[in-house]
Amino acid sequence: MTTTTLSARPYSGETDLAPIADFLNLCEAHDQIEEGISVEELREEFGEPGFEPARDLRLVEDEQGRMVAFGQLWAVEETEDNDGFLWFKVHPQHRGGELEAQLFAWAEEQLHQRGRVKLRVAARDIETERQAMFAQHGFEPVRYFLRMRRDLAEPIATPVLPAGYTMRAGNHDPQQWADLYNESFVDHYNFHPHDAAWVQHWQDVPENRPELSLVAVAPDGTLAAFAWCSIHTEENQRTGRQDGHIGLLGTRRGHRRIGLGRAMLLSALERLRDTGMTHAMLGVDASSPTGANTLYESAGFETYFTRILYSRDITGA
């Protein structure tokens, strides 16, 4: 029997982008879970402030230099649970063996160096083999996140802002927007704060659509709520659909329970429809403390799939 020699290495720069994209798309062709990627999309991800590709990426190759596994560790921001998240893919022919364990060990070593105490991973609801593998490695499910979808051909109720509030679209002041985001999400599960550099990065990406970034302004000038939407052209080309994404939607403390969230959601749906999109997509914590999933269901969204978040304590590793 022939033994395959595998070797792991860090990311070495731009020349790795195309091989990584090719490998991830090979996995997507097998898995069919809508996780395809392009070189440009990878470049934008790896360029996010605080993310260090040479440190946070792991490539595993065979003796011919063909990629058989890829790991991407996210542990940039401080979190309430002091965790890190590993997103990874293993070649379909190499799954269920030692490669997953090696990626977990690498991620844990990296997290130990940063003082983190939990390693998080995720699986989609249909990835039963992946879920079983997580259980074998001591991971337990801790949270469920819904991916929801709405047909934009269905009627959209007219948005109504509370008296005295106005809506503004465009690229907003990065620090003010970061403050708005942080005060809107601080009470959410395992909150990850964002800063002005993060906001500026995503406002600068080529596909940013300022007209799809909405904020509600209170009578005293405070930014009170927001809806940050996007259209992923390359993703739509891969799927053959015309989906628009409501990537982030939130309401600042002190401005809740007066209809702002609904007004921002309906306004975002109108904007996406008017750009020619046929469906709107968004993600939400199934146990959202603000009841966001109920709001989305009332506006016509239905669950498209569920993603399960798993966790493993690494303090004794």
Q: Which of 138, 173, 195 is the last residue of a domain?
A: 138
In a domain, 143, yes or no: no
73 and 18 fall within a common domain: yes
What confidence tens digit (pLDDT) does each residue in 64-101 have?
Answer: 999 999 999 999 877 778 999 999 999 999 999 899 99
pLDDT-derived band at 1 (thresholds 50, 70, 90) equals: very low
- CATH code of the domain containing 127: 3.40.630.30
37 and 66 fall within a common domain: yes
The CA distance from 239 to 37, in Å, is 11
17 and 125 fall within a common domain: yes
Q: What is the pTM of this model?
A: 0.94
27 and 169 fall within a common domain: no
153 and 122 fall within a common domain: no
In a domain, 317, yes or no: no
178 and 283 fall within a common domain: yes
113 and 67 fall within a common domain: yes
The 67-74 sheet, strands edge to edge? 7-10, 57-61, 67-74, 83-90, 118-124, 302-313, 140-151, 279-285, 243-251, 223-230, 213-217, 166-169
In a domain, 314, yes or no: no
126 and 222 fall within a common domain: no
In a domain, 264, yes or no: yes
118 and 18 fall within a common domain: yes
Question: How does DSSP assign 157-194, residue by residue?
Answer: PPP-PPTT-EEEESPPPHHHHHHHHHHHHTTSTT----
What confidence tens digit (pLDDT) does each residue in 272-312 have?
Answer: 999 999 999 999 999 998 889 999 999 999 999 999 999 99
Q: Where are the beta strands (DSSP E) in 66-222?
A: 67-74, 83-90, 118-124, 140-151, 166-169, 213-217
In a domain, 201, yes or no: yes
The CA distance from 168 to 166, in Å, is 7
Q: Which of 138, 165, 198 is the last residue of a domain?
A: 138
In a domain, 96, yes or no: yes
pLDDT of 200 > 50? The answer is: yes
In a domain, 216, yes or no: yes
Give residue 83's Cα distance to chain centre.
16
In a domain, 63, yes or no: yes
Q: CA torsion 44→242→170→216, rounded to 10°?
A: -120
**What's the confidence (pLDDT) of residue 317?**
53
The whole domain housing 92 covers 7-138
pLDDT-derived band at 123 (thresholds 50, 70, 90) equals: very high
115 and 181 fall within a common domain: no
* Angle at alpha carbon of residue 132, lines to 79 and 190, rounded to 5°: 10
Number of domains in the chain: 2
Q: Which of 108, 138, 168 is the last residue of a domain?
A: 138
114 and 200 fall within a common domain: no
What count of other Cβ atoms lies within 10 Å of the Cβ of residue 227? 27
129 and 165 fall within a common domain: no
